[in-house]
Amino acid sequence: MQEDLNVRGVVFDIERSAVHNGPGIRTTVFLKGCPLACVWCHNPESRSVDPELLWSPERCAGCMQCQDACAQGVHQFVEQRHLLERRRCIACGCCVSVCYAGALELAGRSMTVNDVLVEVMRDEPFYRRSSGGLTLSGGEPAAQFDFARALFREAGRRQLHTALDTSGYCSWECLDGLSPYTDLFLFDLKQMDGARHRALTGVSNERILDNLRRLDTTGREIWIRVPLIPTQNDDDANFQAIGRLVSTLKHVTRVEILPYHRLGESKYARLGAECRLAGLEPPSRDLAESRRVLLLEYDVPQVVLRR
């Protein structure tokens, strides 16, 4: 429908040939905006729904073209030092367009459903051969409900398999409204203890757990995804509680353990933000494997340790 094609959303990345966000070869579309503030977040540019300026000062060539292009006075050069006044930035992208060195980047752009599908459909032959498709991630895709629903409706008209990567922290009406157009839910479980969950993510897990149980009654396929964060949620009690819950659900076909990595640390510096877990080492192979084995004790259909 034409009205769906014209719906706009804010996208911060489109990853082609993705193989870790659902079955087969996929294109993953990352939306901005997330109600959680996970201390281990590796996509901090996804939290705000608005476009944001990323700055890599080590790449700056000192050409000063950004200073000339910016009407807000964000960029200043003092004694050959490039200073950035972020408070003045309106994320217009004028400086990014003239930065040939790649020191400046805009995270987030307004796109229509049609804009996104033009890119997604470039790899249609690979989806058909591998039983892949389109995955919507973030951020939290449900935070841009109208865009997510319109995109998945149009993907369905093109007979594309759709997967929604969600924290589950949204209204039930949002999940229920997306369910008819979603073939697979990739549902995060981070921390089962309510107080600990709030401390680590900024929100309660009550809505998340309630939404998961209600989603299971719809009959849609669900993969549970568990980030494994050393010292934060890697204890026996948390994984035992996850195992007990999953064993009561009828439509969970897979559990994935996602070991923490440090690839997102540099993004905090580029945003001018603090990384709360800076320097935290990823979990050892032995620890990750022990979590996988523990979950297998709870009649979980399939437990996969992502590398």
Q: What is the pLDDT of residues 178-203, one digit of tens each?
A: 999 999 999 999 999 999 999 999 99
**Sign of torsion over alpha carbons 217, 191, 262, 10:** positive
- Give yes or no for a contact between 62 and 73, defined as CB atoms under 8 angstroms apart: no
8 Å CB contact between 49 and 143? yes
CA distance 81 to 62: 8
Summarised one tens digit per residue, pLDDT across range 108-133 is: 999 999 999 999 999 999 999 999 99
Task: Please give the Cα distance from 223 to 22 (Å, whole number).
Answer: 9
CA 102 from centre of chain? 24
Q: What single-letter amino acid sits at 23?
A: P
Residue linked to tokens 């948390």: 238
User: What does the pLDDT read at residue 80?
Assistant: 85
The predicted-structure confidence for 54-100, as pLDDT tens digits, reads as follows 999 999 999 999 999 999 999 999 988 999 999 999 999 999 999 99
Longest dimension (CA), the chain: 65
pLDDT tens, position by position, 135-179: 999 999 999 999 999 999 999 999 999 999 999 999 999 999 999
Q: Is the alpha carbon torsion for 248, 251, 253, 255 positive or negative?
A: negative
Distance CA 9, CA 302 (A): 34
Predicted pLDDT at 275: 95
Q: Which domains does the chain have, with CATH numbers?
A: 2-49+109-305 (3.20.20.70), 52-107 (3.30.70.20)
